[in-house]
């Protein structure tokens, strides 16, 4: 009897224990605030994404000094994808920063690090962010979008996604990698083809990236206009109001990778938003992340043909060595009928298909006299041709041309005048001209002064100053006294025009 009861009670006890254990997980407890005092840190390698792509960091430092700040966005999610917080760090140098990760439990997290440069105005302390985060709280849809259609190379984006386990340590390292590639858009002689815009066009332009590392292929891109058959977007573009220069180049950053429907497009001013595609709108190219590409375009004035090239920059250099490009290798003479009216000069330049850089503009010289300037874009190696008038209706005093050394050296310019039977070379130079390194030519009507080694942001350039000849006039009086226009050049150098010249390329 007792044994039977014992069994019964033991069974009841076992049942009760089972019930108890099953209940032990059924509690109404909630999470409480636990703040870990010992924060974790994430050290970010700022240089990796640039150095791996061969970017000259000294060039980068120049950009930095002129108003850019390295910026780090750190997004923290748990392993379920639940958003924890984000940190935006605007840095003051390129030393690897340690981003503090606070208030995290001892468990695994997913950390997304986004790196780029932010424009920063030192004076006003205002910022211009090239990138914007969207859907930060949704791990699947969190994305970063560019605010610009053409992304300057220095606004390139680096991304690193990693899991960190706070059970195994507090100090973590992040090395963002380039999230796209670079394209250098180069052109030559497009001025002479009448073009005012050249661009690398992509079909289905990517405007942003999803940051979720589980997204692959096309799913990682954010498109504005996917499958819109009429839409082509310039990812790299060089444009001028009237005509492009003889040559030009700029570097851009693109997010896209993979096989892309793309082409190089050329437009004249009359084309508006339309362009002529090279090789065609059906051409494709494979872009790889972290590489440097060159999109090149050349117009041959002799054959009236356009040649384009799209490939890695390394391949381009090999191709370009063998490329027989058209070299105008000359510069035009300005209008030199001294004392002419403004209308006469304009008529002459229009007939020769020059386009206006700036219309008649009064400039006050340092001695208080007011002169009137008229500017035109160059057509060959000359960067521009400018005229100076005594008054707003005319009396042409001087014309001058700017030629960058890259386009034509000083010796080539001197050769040009030496071979021109119109001009005589004046030798020996007077000390005044030696002092300024000036070379002098003259004829009955015009004297030419060549001043080398001026410098601006785009390199060394030469000024050729044309003015009324004083040599013959003085010779007739029995003494050779050359009156230089150098003082005039100096006046010009102190004018606002000089600033405009520096900014115009």
Partner 1 sequence: MRKKFLFAVLGLMTAVGLNAQVKVDRGNDNGQRSTQRKSSQLAIKYGVKAGVNLSSMSNGMDFDPGFGMGIGYRAGVMANFHFGQRSINSLPGTGLFGVQPELMYSYQSVKSDEGDIKMSYIQLPIMLKVYPTSALSIEVGPEFNYLISTSPDTMVFDDATISVGNCKGFNIGAGAGLAYELRMGLVVGARYSLGFTDMAKNLKWKNNGNIQVTVGWLF
Nearer to partner 1, 40 or 161 (CB): 40
> Would you say 78 or 456 has its CB closer to partner 1?
78
What does the alpha-carbon distance between residue 273 and residue 237 come to, in Å, rounded to a whole number? 13
- What does the block give as tokens for 144? 């970063």
Give the closest residue to 200 by CA, choosing from 151, 236, 231.
236
Q: State the DSSP code for 406.
A: T
Query: Shortest approach of partner 1 to residue 294 CB, angstroms?
Result: 54
In the bound complex, what is the minimum distance in angstroms from residue 29's beta carbon to partner 1? 5
DSSP E strands, 121-257:
127-128, 131-134, 143-146, 151-152, 158-165, 171-174, 177-178, 181-188, 195-203, 206-210, 221-223, 232-239, 247-254
Of 23 and 431, nearer to partner 1 (C-beta) is 23
36 vs 338, beta carbon nearer partner 1 = 36
Tokens 């990796």 map to which residue?
48
Residue closer to partner 1 (CB basis): 8 or 480: 8
CB of 273 to partner 1, least distance (A): 58
Is 143:253 a contact under the CB 8 Å cutoff? no
The least CB distance from residue 164 to partner 1, in Å, is 15
Q: Which residue in 445, 431, 357 sits closest to 396, CA to CA? A: 445
Q: How far is the CB of 2 from partner 1 (least distance, A)?
A: 7
With respect to partner 1, which residue has the nearer C-beta, 26 or 219? Answer: 26
Q: Running DSSP on this structure, what letter comes out for residue 230?
A: T
Least distance in Å: CB of 499 to partner 1? 59
Q: Is 503 helix (H, G, I), strand (E, B) or coil?
A: helix
Q: With respect to partner 1, which residue has the nearer C-beta, 25 or 229?
A: 25
Q: Which helix (H) or strand (E) holds 416?
A: helix 410-419
**Closest to 349 measured CA to CA, from 316, 368, 375:** 375
Shortest spacing between CB 82 and partner 1, in angstroms: 14
- Rounded to the nearest angstrom, the gap between the alpha carbon of residue 271 and the centroid of all alpha carbons in its chain is 24
Least distance between partner 1 and beta carbon 224 (Å)? 43
Residues 6+ apart with CB under 8 A from 361: 372, 373, 374, 375, 497
Contact residues for partner 1, defined by CB under 8 A: 2, 5-6, 9, 12-13, 16-17, 19-21, 23-24, 26-38, 105-106, 167
Contact 214, 162 (CB under 8 A): no
Q: Which is nearer to partner 1, 34 or 65 (CB)?
A: 34
Q: Which is nearer to partner 1, 24 or 126 (CB)?
A: 24
Strand 151-152 to 143-146 pairing: unpaired
Alpha-carbon span 218 to 235, nearest angstrom: 18
Quote the CA–CA distance of 203 and 331 in Å, as a whole number.
Answer: 39
Closest approach of Cβ 6 to partner 1, in Å? 8
Phi (first) and psi of residue 371, to 5 degrees: -120, 165
Kindly report the CA angle at 477 between 476 and 482, in degrees rounded to 5?
Answer: 85
Q: Which is nearer to partner 1, 33 or 367 (CB)?
A: 33
Q: How far is the CB of 171 from partner 1 (least distance, A)?
A: 16
- How far apart CA 461 and CA 441 sit, in angstroms, is 19
Cβ nearer to partner 1, comparing 25 with 126 = 25
Q: How far apart are CA 130 and CA 253, in angstroms?
A: 12
Closest separation in Å from C-beta 219 to partner 1: 34
Closest-CA residue to 176 (of 84, 50, 289): 50
């Amino acid at each position: 009897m007792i044994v039977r009861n014992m069994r019964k009670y033991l069974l009841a006890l076992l049942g009760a224990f089972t019930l108890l254990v099953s209940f032990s997980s059924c509690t109404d407890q909630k999470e409480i605030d636990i703040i870990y005092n010992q924060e974790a840190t994430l050290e970010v390698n700022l240089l990796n994404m640039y150095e791996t792509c061969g970017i000259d960091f000294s060039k980068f430092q120049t950009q930095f000094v002129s108003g850019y700040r390295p910026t780090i966005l750190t997004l923290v999610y748990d392993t379920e994808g639940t958003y924890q917080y984000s940190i935006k760090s605007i840095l003051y140098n390129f030393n690897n920063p340690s981003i503090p990760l606070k208030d995290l439990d001892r468990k695994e997290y997913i950390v997304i690090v986004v790196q780029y440069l932010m424009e920063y105005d030192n004076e006003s302390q205002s910022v211009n962010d090239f990138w914007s985060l969207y859907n930060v709280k949704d791990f699947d849809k969190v994305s970063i979008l560019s605010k610009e259609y053409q992304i300057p190379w220095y606004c390139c984006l680096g991304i690193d996604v990693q899991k960190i386990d706070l059970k195994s340590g507090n100090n973590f390292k992040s090395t963002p990698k380039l999230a796209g590639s670079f394209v250098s858009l180069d052109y030559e002689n497009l001025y002479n083809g009448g073009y005012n815009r050249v661009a690398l066009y992509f079909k289905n332009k990517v405007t942003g990236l999803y940051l979720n590392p589980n997204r692959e292929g096309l799913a990682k891109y954010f498109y504005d206009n996917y499958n819109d058959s009429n839409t082509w977007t310039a990812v790299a573009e060089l444009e001028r109001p009237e005509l492009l220069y003889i040559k030009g180049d700029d570097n851009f950053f693109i997010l896209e990778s993979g096989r892309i429907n793309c082409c190089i497009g050329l437009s004249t001013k009359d084309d508006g938003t339309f362009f002529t595609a090279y090789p065609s709108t059906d051409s494709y190219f494979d872009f790889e992340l972290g590489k440097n590409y060159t999109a090149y375009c050349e117009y041959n004035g002799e054959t009236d043909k356009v040649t384009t090239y799209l490939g890695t920059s390394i391949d381009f250099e090999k191709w370009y060595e063998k490329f027989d490009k058209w070299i105008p290798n000359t510069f035009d003479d300005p209008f030199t009928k001294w004392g002419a009216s403004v209308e006469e000069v304009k008529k002459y330049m229009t007939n020769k298909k020059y386009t206006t850089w700036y219309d008649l503009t009064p400039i006050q010289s340092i001695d208080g006299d007011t002169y009137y300037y008229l500017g035109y874009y160059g057509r060959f190696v000359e960067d521009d041709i400018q005229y100076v008038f005594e008054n707003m209706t005319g009396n042409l005093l001087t014309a001058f041309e700017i030629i960058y050394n890259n386009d034509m050296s000083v010796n080539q310019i001197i050769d040009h005048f030496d071979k021109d039977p119109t001009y005589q070379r004046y030798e020996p130079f007077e000390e005044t001209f030696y002092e300024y390194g000036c070379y002098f030519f003259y004829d009955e009507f015009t004297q030419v002064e060549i001043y080398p080694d001026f410098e601006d942001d785009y390199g060394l350039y030469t000024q050729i100053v044309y003015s009324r000849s004083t040599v013959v006039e003085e010779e007739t009086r029995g003494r050779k006294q050359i009156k230089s226009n150098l003082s005039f050049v100096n006046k010009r150098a102190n004018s606002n025009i000089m600033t405009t010249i520096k900014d115009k390329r």
